[in-house]
Structures are given as C-alpha cells and as structure tokens.
Amino acid sequence: MTENTVNSDYVCDFLDRFSLTLLKETFVVLDNASLHKSKKFKARKLEWENRGLYIFYLPTYSPHLNIAETLWRKLKKEWLRPQDYETSEKLTYSLTQCLMSMGRDIGIIFSDFRIV
C-alpha cells in the first residue's frame, strides 16, 4: 500500500528494485493501464527480462481475469465497513487488516480455484 501517486515512474522504480531481488524467473501480470504502457515502462522491459522479470499483459477489457479488480470489489462491498472510511487512518488500518487476513481468515474463490 502507498499514499504516493502511482504513476509510471513509481511502478518502474518498484519493478527495478523488485527485479534485483529475484532468485528465479518471475512473471508479473498487469492490466493495460497507460502507466504500464508508457515509453519509460517499455524502455525498462528488456533490462527486467535480463534479470528474469517478465511482464504479461491481460487481454483488454477482461476485469474477470484481473484478481486485483475482484479483490477491490470484495474489499469495498463486503469486507470494509462504512465507518472504516471516516478517516484516512481508519481506512489504512482496515485495509491493512483485510490484506493481512488474506489466506488466513478471508479468501476469494474463483470457481474451483482459490486464491489465498
């Protein structure tokens, strides 16, 4: 979680740092947001691939394949309470608690496949 603006610079910096920690080939699945397709982002892809980090894009208009979309929908409609939105501190705390509970207390079932 971050309170910073998430833009192409932010994501590229994150993936740069992440790619330096890899011990095996790793695939990151992204949607087609403009920040994932920027010139700066595209320029970094070959360097990340040389480090074993590969970018896979979801097909356009496929929110049903994007686990993050389902996670946010469940957070907003099922797991967060109206009072969790009273202050940014309450919201941050509640989001953190929900995300830490993934796989332990809460989960998402995608037909026969469970993401925890």
Q: What are the structure tokens assigned to 78, written together?
A: 């099922």
Query: Residue 82 CA to chain centroid, in angstroms?
Result: 24
Q: Name the pLDDT band for 90 (thresholds 50, 70, 90).
A: very high
Phi, psi of 10 (to 5 degrees): -65, -45
Element (H, E) at 49: helix 39-50
Q: Which residues contact 52 (CB under 8 A, 6 or more apart)?
A: 19, 22, 24, 25, 26
Q: What is the pLDDT of residue 115?
A: 54
Whether 76 contacts 98, CB under 8 Å:
no
Q: Pick the residue with more confidence: 88 or 103?
A: 88
Report the percentage of the chain scoring pLDDT > 70.
91
**pLDDT at 64 exceeding the cut of 80:** no
pTM of the model: 0.65
Distances from the Cα of 74 to the Cα of 1, 62, 64, angstroms:
17, 17, 13
More reliable by pLDDT, 105 or 88: 88
